[in-house]
Amino acid sequence: MAVMSETDQHEFGFAAEAPNQRMRRRGVYILPGLFTVGNLLCGFYAILATLKGGASDLDYASRAIGFAIVFDAFDGFIARATGTNTEFGKQFDSLADMVSFGIAPAILAFAWGVQALLQADVPEARHVSQLAWLVSLAFVICCAWRLARFNVQGMASAGGLKYFVGMPTPAAAGMIAAVVHAFKFPLEDWRWSVPWLALVLALAFLMVSSVRYPSFKQIPWGKRQHSLMIVVGAILIWSIVVYSEIVLMLIASAYVAAGFTLYLVRLVRHRLVSRPA
C-alpha cells in the first residue's frame, strides 16, 4: 500500500489538518451517501412489498417510494450545502434513482393495475397484461434515458430560473405512488386498467420529452426564510400526515400539470410575438 509523502500531503492539504479534522471532513462526505443508501433501501423495500401483492403491501410500496423521494431530495441538498458534490456521488445517486424511481414504480404500476385481473382469470387479462408489460418496460427505459441525459446535460436555465428538461424521475414515480396510495386496492376492471396504463406511458414520455418542469433548487433553503414560510411548511407537513391520500395526490398532479401549463404559456407567447402586426 503506497504511503503519501510529506510533500504530497502538503499539496493536497491533509498535513495541515489534525486527525479529528480529517475525520470530520470524511464524515461530511459520507453524509450525502448515507441518504442515497436510504433512497436505495426504500426502493428495494418497495419492490419486495410489491411482490407480496396484497393491497396493504402495495400501499407500503407506494409509501416507500415517497420516502425515497425525501431521501433523494436531502442527499442533493446536503451535498450542495456542504460543498461535497463528487462525480462518484452523482453516479451513485443515479443508480439508486434507477431502482427507486424506475424499477420499483414500474413493478408497482404493473401489480396494481393488472395483477388482480390475472388472478381473477378475466378474459381480457392476457391482452391487458401484455400491454402492461410493454408499458412498464417503457417506463424503466425512459427513466434510465432521463437519468443519463441529466448526468450529461444537467439543468437548464432561463431568466435566471433553473428548470428540468423533461419530468424528473422522482416526480414520475411519485405520481404512480400517489395514485396507488390514494386508492390502495388493485384494479379489478380492465376498463380502468387501460387508462391507468395510458397514464404510466404518458409519464414515461414526459421524462424523455423537452417539456420544462420547475426546479426548486434555486431557492436558498439554507438561508433565513420569512416566518410565513415556516407556517406554510408546518401546515403542509401536517396536511400530508393527516390527509396523505388527498394531499399527496394533489401535489403530484399539480406538478405534472405544471409542465403542460408552462409549455402552453410559452407556446401562446411565442405565437403572439411571431405574429405579424
Listed residue (136, 140, 141) closest to 111, CA to CA: 136
Q: Would you state the torsion angle of the CA atoms of residues 6, 7, 13, 17, taken in this order, to the nearest 10 degrees?
A: 20
pLDDT tens-digit series, residues 39-93 = 999 999 999 999 998 999 999 999 999 999 999 988 877 877 777 778 888 899 9
What SS3 state is found at 13?
coil
d(CA 157, CA 163): 6
pLDDT at 2 over 50: no
For 243-255, give the DSSP string: SHHHHHHHHHHHH
273 and 199 in contact (C-beta within 8 Å)? no
pLDDT at 8 over 50: no
Neighbours of 119 (CB within 10 A): 12
Scanning 184-243, the segments in alpha helix (DSSP H) are 190-208, 227-242
pLDDT-derived band at 277 (thresholds 50, 70, 90) equals: low
Identify which has the larger pLDDT, 106 or 118.
106
42 and 53 in contact (C-beta within 8 Å)? no
62 and 181 in contact (C-beta within 8 Å)? yes
Listed residue (240, 234, 205, 233) closest to 219, CA to CA: 233
Element (H, E) at 268: helix 244-274
**Would you identify the CATH topology of the domain 13-274?**
Four Helix Bundle (Hemerythrin (Met), subunit A) (1.20.120)
* AA identity, residue 204: A
User: Where exactly are the structural domains of the chain?
Assistant: 13-274
- For 178-206, what is the mean pLDDT? 95
For 150-175, give the DSSP string: HHHH--EEETTEEEEES--HHHHHHH
> What is residue 66's predicted lDDT score, i.e. its pLDDT?
97
> What is residue 158's predicted lDDT score, i.e. its pLDDT?
57
d(CA 134, CA 136): 5
- For 92-116, what is the mean pLDDT? 95
- For 204-218, what is the mean pLDDT? 86
> What is residue 25's predicted lDDT score, i.e. its pLDDT?
53
**Paired residues of 214 in beta bridges:** 163
> What is residue 78's predicted lDDT score, i.e. its pLDDT?
83
Neighbours of 101 (CB within 10 A): 30
d(CA 91, CA 112): 30
Per-chain mean pLDDT for the chain = 84
Distances (CA, A) of 133 to 41, 100, 113: 25, 18, 11
pLDDT at 10 over 80: no
pLDDT-derived band at 112 (thresholds 50, 70, 90) equals: very high
Instruction: Give the distance from CA 129 to its chain's centroid.
Output: 26
Listed residue (236, 92, 106) closest to 169, CA to CA: 106
**Paired residues of 101 in beta bridges:** none
pLDDT tens-digit series, residues 115-130 = 888 887 778 788 899 9
